[in-house]
Amino acid sequence: MVSTELEVAPMSGAQKAAVLLMQVGQENAAKVLSHLRPAEIEELTAEILRLRSVSPEIAGVVLEEFHGMIASPLRGGLGGLDFAQSLLEGALGAEGAAEVLGRVAEAAIVQPFQFLHQADPQQILTFLTGEHPQTIALVVAHLRPDQASMILGGLSPDMQADIALRIATMEATSSEYVRLVEDVVQRRTSTVLQAKTNTAVGGVQPLVDIINRADRGTERSILEGLATKNSALAEEIRALMFVFEDITTLDDRAIQLVLRGVETADLATALKGVTDTVRDKILKNVSERARENLIDEIELLGPVRMSAVEESQQKVVAIIRQLEESGQIVLTRGGDDDFVA
């Protein structure tokens, strides 16, 4: 876990100023802030939020740079949300304090398990092997969806269903429990992390995001296994997911926008073995010449492995998700299946 105390190492000016404010008390610190520009206030507030305590040794390093302001004996200083809020209210009033905190608090607090976000999914999977399913579910729920999907893909079908069920039914988890699991992970991986004060992960939508980024084989395995454990939940998840066959629910303008980003070879492979409804919907939204080329490409392919077909379909779905994330198309889930370009 990232220490909530600064190390005796080169510190930024903002960090030093934050440490200094922690030494002079809230009233005096608020007076200092009242003389700063808004951008400076926000920068200092962010640093204070990142800190919960400052050791006397670190305070000494900082205070030595401010001649004439050293107190004896040196004391630690408390930071965190409460200190930052009180300090800002003294300088800016309650309304101004709330506005500044609202802009910087979320960015200033590190998310749980963030140290794993840059880790190789295979290494994470190796570490998680043999752990209790609830521990695996908690860790996976905090990962990026693309990482989580790869990890689920490396588990046995029974374990996939178990972990999926635990993620989907996971409620807000106490910060104490999250910190306990973090500590174990940190010790075993020799990596540090600063935990977020309040933690709420899990639920149906995070699981949908994970499955949507998994390969089709893993997707089928998870949903089929989940259906044996909780059929209603499996159906709820299916309703929220977007699969290649759902492309028929897009309007023509949206489909044309999607097809601009798809290579002809991938589209031809993706259309192997699909229903006439899906094939006709695609062919309807390309030019006559492109339609002829696409039909010829499909016929020339001959027999194609299902894994190759599913891979190409995933590429198309990925483009759809990218367009949705960028706001170019809007996907309505769980109710109407309409897409709005």
Q: Are 87 and 20 in contact (CB under 8 A)?
A: no
Amino acid at 130: G
Helix, strand, coil percent content, the chain, rounded in steps of 5? 65, 0, 35
What are 221-250's pLDDT values in tens digits?
888 888 888 888 888 887 777 778 888 888
* Residue-level pLDDT at 338: 40
d(CA 293, CA 22): 70
CA atoms of 338 and 294, how far apart (whole Å): 26
| Sequence letter at residue 224 | E
**Residue 279 above 90 pLDDT?**
yes
Give the predicted TM-score (pTM) of the model: 0.39
Q: What is the pLDDT of residue 341?
A: 34
d(CA 45, CA 98): 12
Contacts of 327 (CB under 8 A, 6+ apart): none
pLDDT per residue as tens digits for the range 108-157:
555 778 778 778 888 888 888 888 898 899 889 888 888 889 899 999 99
Reduce the DSSP state of residue 330 to 3 states and report it: strand
SS3 254: helix
Closest CA to 294 of 271, 260, 317: 271
Mean pLDDT score of the chain:
75
User: 197-201, 263-267, 277-281 — which is least confidently predicted?
Assistant: 197-201
Identify the sign of the CA torsion 332, 334, 336, 337.
positive
CA 247 to chain CA mean position, Å: 26
Where is pLDDT greater, at 246 or 205?
Answer: 246
Looking at the DSSP bridge assignments, the partners of residue 331 are 339
Which sign, positive or negative, has the C-alpha torsion 92, 95, 98, 103?
Answer: negative
Question: Which residues are CB-contacts of 73 (< 8 A; sequence separation ≥ 6)?
Answer: 56
Domains of the chain: residue spans and CATH:
13-108 (no CATH), 115-240 (1.10.220.30), 244-340 (1.10.220.30)
Q: Is 77 helix (H, G, I), strand (E, B) or coil?
A: strand
In tens, the pLDDT along 283-306 reads: 999 999 999 999 999 999 888 898
Give the residue, 95 or 67, on which the prediction is more confident. 95
Q: Are 136 and 160 in contact (CB under 8 A)?
A: no
For residue 182, give Cα distances in angstroms to 123, 195, 200: 16, 8, 15
Instruction: Read off the amino acid at residue 319.
Output: I
- Residue 245 amino acid letter: E
Could you tell me the two tokens for 270?
Answer: 């993706």
51 is written with which tokens? 């800190």
Q: Is 13 left (phi over 0), alpha (psi -120 to 50) or beta?
A: alpha
Q: What is the dihedral of CA 55, 61, 66, 67, to 10 degrees?
A: 110
